[in-house]
Structure 1
Amino acid sequence: MLINWYKFTIYKRTHPKLFWGVSLSLVGVVYLKAWIPLTNISIPCPFHEWTGLYCPGCGVTRVILSLLKFDVIQAFRFNPLLFILAPLYMLYWITNKKHIRPLSRAIMAIMLILTVTFGILRNLPLFEYLAPTVIR
């Protein structure tokens, strides 16, 4: 019994990121797949509630719900920026880990410019197709 407790404490001490990552992921899946469908209560976007405009992150919860249903096209319609930022972030993470600072900073600047530009464009009438919409 003492040996098993010792192994558990070593495991918990050496893998806290894994433990917290799995725990938060499970809470997120329960929130998305159980809480929202049962109660129809979700966390609204404060920026959209206060201004009536779409922020660059509007539609992210619906993207995740669509991806959990393997509906990639609908997920893309809710927020196409995530599909552009995800590979850029992976590239940023790799260059930052390898200490390639000029390239990682340039990638971060590109991601910031894309996010701000997307946030502005999705609120203009000419680019209203960038707003979160449901495909019927």
Structure 2
Amino acid sequence: MNPKRRSSLIWGASLGVAGLLYLKVWLPLTHIGIPCPFRELTGLYCPGCGATRAILSLLDLDVHQAYRYNPLIFILLPLFALYFIAHKKRLRIMSNGVMAVMLILTLAFGLLRNIPAYAWLAPAAGQF
């Protein structure tokens, strides 16, 4: 394995461990999370609101609650995998198309979850 690849793997593993420590140790002990700046400034939900709680629920294998916190991640994760594969295979038109779809879905989700008729898209009340 070349040194650059090894260094990337070490950095990736370190970030993963740091993320897990933040989610599974720091948050439960302190209940001090990172507030959403968009929500703090506008009072509206951004497309990412509830994502941290969704990830915590997924780590606890509670898929239903994770979906209630942020259903967008369940749509974007497979699309991102498709984008990654298309990008690696140099399928430029396909990767650009998937990226455009992800952007449109994210913007539409961010708008809809703030409309009363689509209140079910807003993050469920949570622990943090």
> TM-score range, shorter-chain basis?
over 0.9
Residue 21 of structure 1: aligned partner = 12
- Which runs of 5 or more residues in structure 1 are unaligned? 1-9
How many Å apart are 1:128 and its aligned residue? Answer: 0.3
Greater Cα radius of gyration, structure 1 or 2: 1
Aligned length: 126
User: Are residue 115 (structure 1) and residue 106 (structure 2) matched?
Assistant: yes
What is the TM-score when the length of structure 2 is the normalising length? 0.93
Let me know the Cα RMSD of the aligned residues: 1.5
Residue 101 of structure 1: aligned partner = 92
Residue 80 of structure 2: aligned partner = 89
* CA deviation profile, 1:33-54 (whole Å, cap 9, x unmatched): 1111111101010000110000
What is the TM-score when the length of structure 1 is the normalising length? 0.88
Residue 104 of structure 1 aligns with an amino acid whose one-letter code is: S
* CA deviation profile, 1:94-116 (whole Å, cap 9, x unmatched): 11111111111111110000000
Structure of greater relative contact order (alpha carbons < 8 Å, 6+ residues apart): 2
- Which runs of 5 or more residues in structure 2 are unaligned? none
> How high is the sequence identity, in percent, across the aligned residues?
57
How many Å apart are 1:16 and its aligned residue? Answer: 1.2
Residue 60 of structure 2: aligned partner = 69
